[in-house]
Structure 1
Amino acid sequence: MSNPAWESDPTTRHEYRWWDGEKWTEYVADDGVQSLDHLTGAENLEPPKNRRARASGAAAEQDSLSSVQPVQLASRTARFGGRLIDLAIYFLLTLVFLLVLHFTDVKPIPVDDSYDSDAVRDYAESVDGLYWVPILFSAIYEIGLTATRGQTFGKMATRTQVVRAEDLFQPEWGRTPRWGQSIIRWALPAVLLIPAFYLPYIGEILFLLCYLALMWDRDRQGWHDKAARTLVVSKP
């Protein structure tokens, strides 16, 4: 229909709004500073028409924006695809861990009538603490890669990246989250699972809602994103 460009905002709420060549988007700019202003769908906006000449100052500002493409939030499909890949990695490594246990001194209790309560107690003592190993792995995997690269292997595969929300549309945008943000981003879903040990299904539901929240959130943030003040964007 027309070339993507910063055009005068037809809603008049801002100076400029990004026209992607087919439709108006949520990306806006005022005084050269970009931000988000989502459309409701009820505005009934017309496509941009031939623009009249602007004053030299406004024209210079628009020209300065013309080379700046708005940051694209990662699609919900890409985000869930990346999460599924990460979960598959967790599953495979946990399986490897269990196989290692099988061929070491930590053996499952044989299912027959030959063992008694002492055998059960000895087995419980032998595996005490081992259940935390997969959780520790997930923490190292998620926190380490997010803080150093902004990407887990799942996000690398889906070309998405975690960035600091406060950097959005700023010259330094794209910085990886701080270590504290990365820890919070991993810890919140893990903490939400704790009730599962005491109340059936409650922890699992909270865990799922933490991620499903990005389906209806306008900035596509899950609860963990909001708590850590991060966004997930498409990586060029």
Structure 2
Amino acid sequence: MAHSYSGGELFNEVSLRLAPGSFHFLTGPSGSGKTTFLKLCYGALVPSSGVVRIFDDDVRQMSRDDIALARRRVGVVHQDCQFLDHLSLQENLALPLTVSGHEALDDYANLKELMGWVGLTSRADALPPELSGGERQRAALARALIMSPDVILADEPTGNVDWEMSQRLLTLLIELNRMGKTIMIATHDLGLIRAAKNHVQARVLRISERRLQLAGADL
């Protein structure tokens, strides 16, 4: 796979398969293309050349509806997660359920359980501007999980929180991996990677010189 944009080529001859239940870190300097790579992984972008398959389907051959359905199996934790400020936290987290037509009582019971799992039960009625940075990051993770995805792609999920909170978020992602979820975390935080390696078998990938490389064992 290769991908270019107006400023030049970003990737060249990149090949990767995310095996079910695997755990990956994606590293590289700012501007190397980590966010773009994640977008290619969930079909928000189409590669300039080569093939991207989402659950074995070629993204070029998928209709918009096909891509939308596939994305329900992929939870994305965006670097700067946007919430609707006039809706409560609980209403924001429930939006994917509403849009997809999943409004059964069981779904909302799962929502309450998920909010408890990320430690936000007491903030259910809070508006987004009232949330701290750590609460917003946990809310972003919860919203990515609300549809019970098979794959979770997290773009710098600990970039705006302190070390204690980053460890809590990492622990949540490791627990999800132990439940069989496939995880990829884009990060520049080597300390986070070192902490994870004590608890999970993770591959560390690095974008360098427009290639995707397996990082050294000294991380």
TM-score, normalization by structure 1:
0.20
Larger Rg: 1 or 2? Answer: 1
Q: Larger % of helix: which?
A: 1
TM-score, normalization by structure 2:
0.21
Q: Larger % of strand: which?
A: 2
